[in-house]
Amino acid sequence: MKSRTILLLVLGLVTLLPLAYWVVLFTVVVPSGGLIFVSDASPTRLQHAVNILFASQIANTVFTLGLISFYLVLLYRSNRVPQERKALWAVLLVLGSILAMPVFWYMYFRPTSTSEWRGLGSALENEPKQK
């Protein structure tokens, strides 16, 4: 039960990563014109900044597609989602992806009982010390 709660919380945090990427992109990187990655505006440094942005965008897209695939499998294998809502959630997860996934996790997969949260605390406190 404790490891299940930890896995559900990790899933929730991982689900927020694509959304966090877009928030950082539109609040930090875009207003700076991509110059956040370079100290001067020489053409080679600007090309390097574009390459970083392109690579991070590709990585985020692949990660998001993998997460959507994972959530679709989870949706159809889970008993937590009512059968009559599965088709609706499938459409929402595909079309709404980074906005729908955290809502889906919160509604159906977050730890709900206080014993699950208490179990998480005791599991973290009683972990063996690494040497």
pTM: 0.74
The DSSP code sequence of 2-67 is: HHHHHHHHHHHHHHHHHHHHHHHIIIIITTTTTGGG-SS--HHHHHHHHHHHHHHHHHHHHHHHHH
Percent of the chain scored above 70 by pLDDT?
76
pLDDT at 112: 75
pLDDT at 105: 93
User: Which residues have C-beta within 8 Å of that of residue 129, sequence separation ≥ 6?
Assistant: none
Is there a domain that residue 69 lies in?
A: yes
Number of domains making up the chain: 1
Is there a domain that residue 51 lies in?
A: yes
d(Cα 111, Cα 100) in Å, to the nearest integer?
A: 18
Is there a domain that residue 41 lies in?
A: yes
Is there a domain that residue 126 lies in?
A: no
Is there a domain that residue 67 lies in?
A: yes
| Band of residue 124 on the pLDDT scale cut at 50, 70, 90 | very low
> Cβ(127)–Cβ(100) under 8 Å?
no
d(Cα 37, Cα 30) in Å, to the nearest integer?
A: 11
Is there a domain that residue 50 lies in?
A: yes
User: What is the domain extent for residue 112?
Assistant: 2-121
